[in-house]
Chains A and B, each alone.
Chain A
Amino acid sequence: MSTKHSKAAEKFLKDYDKVTRHDQTFWSVRAKRDVLAYELKEWEQLREAASNIKKHTITHLADYLEEFERNATANGAIVHWAKDADEYNDIVMQIMQAHDVHKVVKGKSMLTEECHLNSNLIKHGIDVVETDLGERILQLMGLPPSHIIMPAIHITREQVKDNFAQQGILEKNGKMGAESMGVSDKTQLEAEADPTYLTRCARYHLRDNFMEAECGMTGANFAIASTGEIVVCTNEGNADMSTSVPLLHIASVGIEKVIPNYDAMGVFQRLLARHGTGQATTVYTSHFRKPRPEGEFHIILVDNGRSNFLADPEHWQTLKCMRCGACMNTCPVYRRSMGYSYTYFIPGPIGINLGMLKDKDANYHNCSACSLCLSCENVCPVQVDLGTQIYKWRQNLDSMGHADPMKKAMSQGMKILFQNPKLYTTALKFAPLANSLPSFLTGIKLNAWCKYHTMPHFASKSFHEMWKKGEVK
């Protein structure tokens, strides 16, 4: 009995210390969230409010999208609608071609990853530069993200240094990087793979790209219907640089990102960073209403399955998700298996659920990555019942043809046993025989329990038997 997740996790878990570091890293973000949560007496009310605002908005989404479009258009933005990833990419390319774009600088956006934007742009000969530091590092290394907020935390400083050296970034931008730290000689900084030095090298490397790009692309954390504006939250200011230099801004917005008004925005602004990074706020909370003077502002509203998720009574509430990553940070399984063990590009509890909604056949493997501890449900800012939904997905695996045959057989065996009290008590009588199973049988590698546990010891007399014999007093 194994899944793609369990097999990948097995490999990751071989490096004990690496797993310890990975686990501590994400737990520390959970711990920071806790500190901020305990400080606010209204914390649970904020979560309840956020959940209810989303439930209201999602169940009136058509009206709010129309209101958003009306206001955005009145502001001078150009609003597009994309039913799926293909149409989204077509729209992007049309805009790119109309503006003769050769280089795009990009803020972090899960939606663009979902739609495979980058590979499509590259296919059309457009250079796309990720500007979030973690995303840029991964892009240069040719690696996928492992977490939606801190995508490159698993990469060591040495790995970053080596890659930057290979890419010529240390040579081209090292001097300025060092000078920005007030250091004239970069040798020591490079020897130590100093994170500040590496970050500053990336700063000037990306600065060169901001200067040259014809287009800046961002996602949107929120789209406010009452004003027609989108809100983008970052710590680095990269989404802002991307949209303050190039004159063309394309914002990609999942339709579920719409919220009604500024009252709602107050609730969400207070919850987002506290949950996602353990800060009271991101450094920048930018509100984009109008195109810049001489610029153009395009907003692409993307469906890509979301309108259908709404029809699923058990799973529609995943549409509330703010993509904060808190569920990953608290998930004891994610922390010990990392993003690469999951088959969907979003890992952790929300990734398991979104992956099943998007493509059950590709992603059912992730359903094993959960001990049903329910910690995720308690940290989610919008109270998505993540663990309970994973339990529900498991109930459907059989009808999808994806149930593990061994689990099915075991469950069938248990059904017969537990439905039949006589059979059950007889089995209990014979169970102690298992105690004397030769250890080579119990130690056998195929027995997943015995890989890490000693065999449990069957009592010579079960409770049932003792009761029958009048020995329970």
Chain B
Amino acid sequence: MSTRENILNRLRQNVRETYDMPDLSFEKTTYADPIAEFIHQTTTTAGAKLIEVKPGDDLNELIRQAYPDAHVIASNLPNIKADKNPDTVSCAQDLDGTDVGVVEGGVACAENACVWVPMNMKQKAILFISESLVIIVHRENIVSNMHEAYEWLKAKDASPEGTSLYGFGTFISGPSKTADIEQSLVYGAQAAKSLTVLLI
């Protein structure tokens, strides 16, 4: 018998009492103004920057202002001026040295400033290897809590576009951080040192 059969048999044999899936419909915390809460959490707890984009604003200009010293911009978004494209680089390593990666976000969660960033590019390294990351968030995609965020993903799963193009997605809340040395908070551990949300 294979290991697989072994394990499955043992699991079936060793169960005594079974339990049902619980009712998850209890009331969850929601915000009267999720957008305001999202902005608040993003710019405080998450340690990120947030720019409210006004109609007529040029995204490339906003990015340049936010990161004036940036030399290498990476993006596969059609309206972003980029030096590298995560769809066309020959390998992930080629994205090293990116100052600013610019990507599109999906659902955004107010309670914890998480933004769903789907892998809609060939190399997801752009999300982590860039020194700074810019995520475009649309107001109508902001929800109160993670239950609602996962409902949004379930709806996407049921739709033809799915939750992502390449079968990966990540909720990102602010820049990379660690407090592993004497509990001292440091931004920019292994991934982005800074994160900016462009709120459209």
Q: Which residues of A contact B (CB under 8 A)?
A: 25, 28, 39-42, 45, 48-49, 52-53, 55-56, 59-62, 65-66, 75-76, 81-83, 87, 131-134, 137, 150-153, 155-157, 160, 180, 195-196, 198-200, 202-203, 206-207, 210-211, 227, 235-238, 240-241, 244-245, 255, 260, 262-267, 269-270, 279-293, 301, 303, 307-308, 310-311, 313
Choose one: B96, B128, B168, B188; the contact of A211 (CB below 8 Å).
B96
User: Is B41 engaged at the interface, CB distance under 8 Å to the other chain?
Assistant: yes
Closest approach, in angstroms, between the C-beta of B76 and any C-beta of chain A? 13
Structural contact, B168 and A237, CB atoms closer than 8 A: no
Assess A290 versus B92: contact at CB under 8 Å? Given A65-B11, A83-B3, A157-B182: no
Q: Is B170 part of the binding interface, using a Cβ–Cβ cutoff of 8 Å?
A: yes
Contacts of B166 in A (CB 8 A): 290, 292-293
Per a CB cutoff under 8 Å, which of A75, A245, A255 touches B93? Answer: A245
Q: Are A280 and B45 in contact, CB atoms less than 8 angstroms apart?
A: yes
A269 touches B146 (CB 8 A): yes
Contact indicator A311/B20 (Cβ below 8 Å):
no
Name the contact of B150 in the complex, choosing from A48, A152, A262 (C-beta under 8 A).
Answer: A262
B122 touches A81 (CB 8 A): no
The answer to the question of B6 belonging to the interface, with a C-beta cut-off of 8 Å to chain A, is: yes
Contacts known (A62-B12, A152-B180, A237-B191); A244 close to B7, Cβ less than 8 A? no
Pairwise interchain contact A236-B125, C-beta atoms closer than 8 A: no
Q: 6 A–B contact pairs at CB < 8 A?
A: A56-B19, A62-B12, A236-B191, A266-B146, A284-B172, A285-B171
Contact (A283, B173) CB under 8 Å given A40-B29, A244-B124, A255-B7? yes
Determine whether B22 belongs to the interface, using a CB cutoff of 8 Å to chain A.
yes
CB <8 Å contact, A236 and B189: yes
- Cβ contact within 8 Å between B170 and A266: no
User: Are A244 and B129 within 8 A (Cβ)?
Assistant: yes
When distances are taken between beta carbons in the complex, the residues of chain B under 8 Å from A260 are 21
| A288 / chain B contacts, CB cutoff of 8 Å | 167-168
| Contact present for A307 and B190 (CB under 8 Å) | no
A81 touches B7 (CB 8 A): yes
Contacts A137-B180, A237-B192 given; does A76 touch B149 at CB 8 Å: no
Q: Which residues 179-200 in B have Cβ within 8 Å of A in the complex?
A: 179-184, 186, 188-193
- Check B22 against A49 for contact (C-beta < 8 Å): yes
A-B residue pairs, 5 tightest by C-beta: A290-B167, A237-B191, A236-B189, A52-B22, A195-B184
Quick one: which of A180, A264, A284 contacts B191, CB cutoff 8 A?
A: A284
Decide if B180 touches A45 in the complex (CB within 8 Å): no
Which chain A positions have C-beta within 8 A of B188? 180, 199-200, 203
Q: Check B176 against A303 for contact (C-beta < 8 Å).
A: no
Cross-interface CB contact of A157 among B15, B46, B96, B181, cutoff 8 Å: B181
**Which residues of B (1-41) have their CB < 8 Å from a CB of A?**
2-4, 6-12, 14-22, 24, 26-29, 41
Of all chain A residues, the one with the shortest Cβ separation from B195 is A283
Docked pose: A267 CA to B26 CA in angstroms = 11
Which residues of B129-188 are within 8 A (CB) of A? 129, 131, 145-147, 149-151, 153-154, 157, 163-164, 166-184, 186, 188
Contact B182 A153 (CB under 8 A): yes
Chain B residues within an 8 Å CB radius of A264: 24
Which residues on B sit within 8 Å (CB–CB) of A206?
190
B63 part of interface (Cβ distance < 8 Å): no
B127: Cβ under 8 A from any A Cβ: yes
User: Residue B108 at the A interface, CB < 8 A?
Assistant: no
Contact between chains at A245 and B92 (CB < 8 Å): yes
A311 touching B145 in the complex, CB below 8 Å, given contacts A153-B182, A157-B182, A280-B41: no
- Interface majority SS on B: helix, strand, loop or mixed? loop
Inter-chain CA distance A55–B22, complex, in Å, is 10
A62 adjacent to B11 (CB under 8 Å): yes
- In the complex, the answer to whether B178 meets A153 with C-beta atoms within 8 Å is no
- What residues on A are CB-neighbors of B100 within 8 Å? none
Q: Is B114 an interface residue (CB 8 A)?
A: yes
How far apart are B96's CB and chain A's nearest CB, in angstroms? 6
- Looking across the interface, which residue of chain B has its beta carbon closest to that of A268? B146
CB proximity of A384 to chain B, nearest CB, Å: 15
Inter-chain contact B11/A307, CB cutoff 8 Å: yes
A341 to B166, CA, bound (A): 46
Q: Which residues of A contact B28 (CB under 8 A)?
A: 42
The reply on B120 being an interface residue by CB < 8 A is no
Centre residue among A200, A237, A279 by max chain B CB count within 10 A: A237
Residues of B within 8 A of A244 (CB): 92, 123-125, 127-129
Chain A residue with the shortest CB-CB distance to B16: A313
Q: Are B7 and A240 in contact (CB under 8 A)?
A: no
Known contacts A81-B7, A236-B189, A281-B173; is-contact A160 B181 (Cβ 8 Å): yes
- Chain A residues within 8 Å of B145, by CB: 266, 270
| B98 interfacial by beta-carbon distance below 8 Å | no
- Once bound together, how far apart are the Cα atoms of A48 and B2, in whole Å? 36
B122: chain A residues at CB < 8 Å are 293
Contacting residue for A289 out of B8, B167, B182, CB 8 A: B167
Is B184 a contact of A207 with CB atoms below 8 Å? Answer: no
* Option from A56, A203, A210, A240 in Cβ contact (under 8 Å) with B21: A56
Shortest distance between the CB of A198 and any CB in chain B (Å): 6
Give bound CA distance, A287 to B177, whole Å: 19
Taking the complex as formed, is B112 at the interface, i.e. its CB lies under 8 A from any CB of chain A?
yes
Contact across chains for A286 and B186 when beta carbons are under 8 A apart: no
Q: How far is the CA of A406 from the CA of B174 in the complex (A)?
A: 56
Report Cα–Cα, A260/B154, bound state, in Å: 13
A311 pairs with B7, CB closer than 8 A: no
Cα A255 to Cα B15 in complex, Å, equals: 15
Cα–Cα distance between A236 and B169 once the two chains are bound (Å): 16
B113 CB, min distance to chain A CBs, angstroms: 8
Q: How far is the CB of B127 from chain A (nearest CB, A)?
A: 7
